[in-house]
């Protein structure tokens, strides 16, 4: 079993829909990252959080340390949000452990 599990693996949404991507992990962590990878391949950091909730524009990330679970929400989704969203946790040795990603397609 992977130490970081994301769901769903694939997600198709209509423009304007509210989207949730989930990340569960089984190890102790000091922080959790949400990353975005566009079809061109570049990876950008969206959020880093260790507790509570963060918001940036239409993106919201939450984490529940006790339940070892994080969610990434996208409000009013747009086709330009189409990308792979990757969850990564910072483990005990300060190394990142990555989930396999969620492929999101937002259709106009």
Partner 1 sequence: NAGVTQTPKFQVLKTGQSMTLQCAQDMNHEYMSWYRQDPGMGLRLIHYSVGAGITDQGEVPNGYNVSRSTTEDFPLRLLSAAPSQTSVYFCASSQWGAEEQFFGPGTRLTVL
- Among 23, 25, 81, 101, interactor with partner 1 by CB under 8 A: 101
Contact between 7 and partner 1 per CB under 8 A: no
**Minimum CB distance to partner 1, residue 6 (Å):** 9
Return the range that interacts with partner 1 (CB under 8 A); candidates 13-21, 25-33, 60-68, 72-80.
Answer: 25-33
The answer to whether 89 touches 73, Cβ cutoff 8 Å, is no
Cα separation of 70 and 102, whole Å?
A: 14
Contact between 100 and partner 1 per CB under 8 A: yes
Cα separation of 49 and 51, whole Å?
A: 6
Phi/psi for 81 (5° steps) reads -80, -10
Contact between 97 and partner 1 per CB under 8 A: yes
Look at residues 46, 25, 36, 44 and name the one whose alpha carbon lies nearest to residue 89: 25
Place of tokens 């969610």: 71
Our CB check for partner 1 shows the closer of 101 and 104 to be 101
Our CB check for partner 1 shows the closer of 96 and 105 to be 96
Site for partner 1 in 26-45 (CB under 8 A): 30-31, 33, 35, 41-45
- Among 11, 17, 22, 48, interactor with partner 1 by CB under 8 A: 48
Cα separation of 47 and 57, whole Å?
A: 12
């Amino acid at each position: 079993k992977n130490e970081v599990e994301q769901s769903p693996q694939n997600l198709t949404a209509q423009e304007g829909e509210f989207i949730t991507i989930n990340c569960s992990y089984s190890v102790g962590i000091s922080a959790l990252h949400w990353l975005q990878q566009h079809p061109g391949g570049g990876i950008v950091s969206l959020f880093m959080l260790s507790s509570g909730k963060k918001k940036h524009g239409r993106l919201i990330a939450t984490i529940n340390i006790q339940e070892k679970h994080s969610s990434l929400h996208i409000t009013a989704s747009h086709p330009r949000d189409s990308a792979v969203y990757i969850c990564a946790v910072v483990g005990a040795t300060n190394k990142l452990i990555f989930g396999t990603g969620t492929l999101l397609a937002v259709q106009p």
